[in-house]
Amino acid sequence: MKNRIVIAFHFILFSIPSYSQCAMCRAVLESSENEGLSEGINNGIMYLAFLPYVIVFFMIFFVYKKFKK
């Protein structure tokens, strides 16, 4: 179990950030010449995608700790 947690953290911390967008965001940002705007949109998408996983992880972690006692 401990090895799986270490491997999961390794993939999360050392992964190359992926820059993905929905089709509409991509079309709007490709027509725009402002690179700072597109980088901001990419970061916002990454934060919105990552936060639910963090919340679920902590919920599972605390439930696991509670039932282990």
Cα–Cα distance between 41 and 25 in angstroms, integer?
Answer: 8
pLDDT in tens, the chain (69 residues): 677 888 777 777 766 665 555 666 667 777 777 777 777 777 887 888 888 889 999 999 999 988 887
Give the position of tokens 């799986």.
4
Q: Where are the domains of the chain?
A: 18-68
Cα–Cα distance between 67 and 43 in angstroms, integer?
Answer: 36
Cα–Cα distance between 21 and 19 in angstroms, integer?
Answer: 7
Cα–Cα distance between 42 and 38 in angstroms, integer?
Answer: 6
